[in-house]
Chains A and B, each alone.
Chain A
Amino acid sequence: MIKLSKYVLYDILRSKIIIAYTLFLLVVSFSLFNLEENESKAVLSLLNIILIVLPLVSIVFGTIHYYNSYEFIELMLAQPMSRQKIILSEYAGVAFSLASAFLIGVGIPVLLFSFNATGMALLLTGFLLTLVFTSLAFLASVKARDKARGIGIALLLWFYFALIYDGLVMLILFNFSDYPLEKITLLLTALNPIDLARVFIMLKMDVSALMGVTSALYKDFFGNITGILFTTGIMLLWAIIPLWLAVRGFKRKDI
Chain B
Amino acid sequence: MRICITIFFIFLFTIGYGRTIIVAPGSSNSSVKKAIEDAADGDTVLIKPGTYKEGSITISKSISVIAAGNVVLDGEQKFEILTLTGYNILVRGIHFINSGYSALNDFAAIKIVDASNLTIENCKITDAYFAIHISNSIHITIRNNTINGTPKSEQMTGNGIHLWKCSKALIENNKVFGQRDGIYFEFVTFSLIRNNISETNIRYGLHFMFSNDDSYYNNMFRNNGAGVAVMYSKRVWMDGNHFEENWGASAYGLLLKDITDSHIQHNTFKKNTVGIHLEGTSRMDIQRNIFKSNGWALKIQASCEDNNFHENNFLGNSFDVGTNGTMVLNRFDHNYWDKYEGYDLNKDGLGDVPYHPVSLYSLIVEQNPFMLMLYRSFTTQMLDKAEKAIPGLTPENLADNKPVMKSFKL
Contacts and interface: CB of A to CB of B under 8 A. Distances in A.
Contacts of B316: 38, 40
A224 B378 CA distance: 26
Interface string A29-42: 00000000010100
Interface stretch (A6-14, A59-67, A164-172, A240-248): A164-172
Contacts of B251: 211
Interface residues of A, number: 36
Given A174-B368, A209-B319, A210-B295, A51 B378 contact: yes
A177 interface: yes
Tell me which of B271, B364, B375 has the highest count of chain A C-beta atoms within 10 A of its own C-beta.
B375
Tell me which of A162, A181, A185, A212 has the highest count of chain B C-beta atoms within 10 A of its own C-beta.
A212
A169 B376 contact: no
Given A206-B295, A209-B375, A166 B380 contact: yes
B247 A208 contact: yes
Nearest to A52: B378
Given A208-B294, A212-B249, A163 B373 contact: no
Given A208-B273, A211-B247, A216-B249, A163 B379 contact: yes
A245 B376 CA distance: 32
A165 to B, nearest CB: 9
B379 A166 contact: yes
Contacts of B294: 208
Nearest to B367: A177
Contacts of B105: none
4 closest cross-chain pairs (CB), A and B? A209-B318, A209-B295, A166-B379, A208-B295
Given A166-B379, A167-B379, A207-B247, A215 B372 contact: yes
A210 B272 contact: no
Given A173-B368, A208-B318, 14 more contacts: A38-B316, A40-B316, A174-B368, A195-B377, A206-B318, A208-B271, A208-B295, A211-B247, A211-B273, A212-B273, A214-B370, A215-B249, A215-B372, A216-B249
A202 B368 contact: no
B156 interface: no
Contacts of B296: 209
A48 interface: yes
B248 interface: yes
B369 interface: yes
Nearest to A215: B372
B359 interface: no
Nearest to A213: B369
Question: Looking at chain B, what size class is its interface with the partner chain?
Answer: 20 to 34
Interface in B250-290: 251, 271-273
Contact of B378 (A44, A162, A182, A208): A162
A47 interface: yes
B223 to A, nearest CB: 13
A198 interface: yes
22 contacts: A40-B316, A47-B376, A163-B378, A166-B374, A167-B379, A170-B371, A177-B367, A198-B376, A202-B376, A206-B295, A206-B318, A208-B318, A209-B273, A209-B295, A209-B372, A211-B273, A212-B273, A213-B372, A214-B370, A214-B372, A214-B373, A215-B372
Interface in A173-229: 173-174, 177, 181-182, 185, 188-189, 195, 198-199, 202, 206-216
Interface in B359-408: 364-365, 367-381
A208 B272 contact: yes
Contact of B248 (A188, A189, A195, A211): A211
A118 to B, nearest CB: 13
Nearest to B371: A173
Nearest to B271: A208
A170 B379 contact: yes
B293 interface: yes
A122 to B, nearest CB: 13
Contacts of A189: 373
A210 B377 contact: no
Contacts of B369: 212-214
B33 to A, nearest CB: 50
Interface in B335-367: 364-365, 367
Contact of B373 (A40, A173, A208, A209): A173
Contact of B375 (A167, A173, A174, A206): A206
Nearest to A164: B379
Tell me which of A185, A206, A208, A212 has the highest count of chain B C-beta atoms within 10 A of its own C-beta.
A208
B43 to A, nearest CB: 55
A44 B377 CA distance: 11
A185 B247 contact: no
A170 B374 contact: yes
Contacts of B375: 198, 202, 206, 209-210
Tell me which of B249, B372, B380 has the highest count of chain A C-beta atoms within 10 A of its own C-beta.
B372
Contact of A166 (B364, B368, B377): B377
Contacts of B378: 48, 51-52, 162-163, 166
Nearest to A167: B379
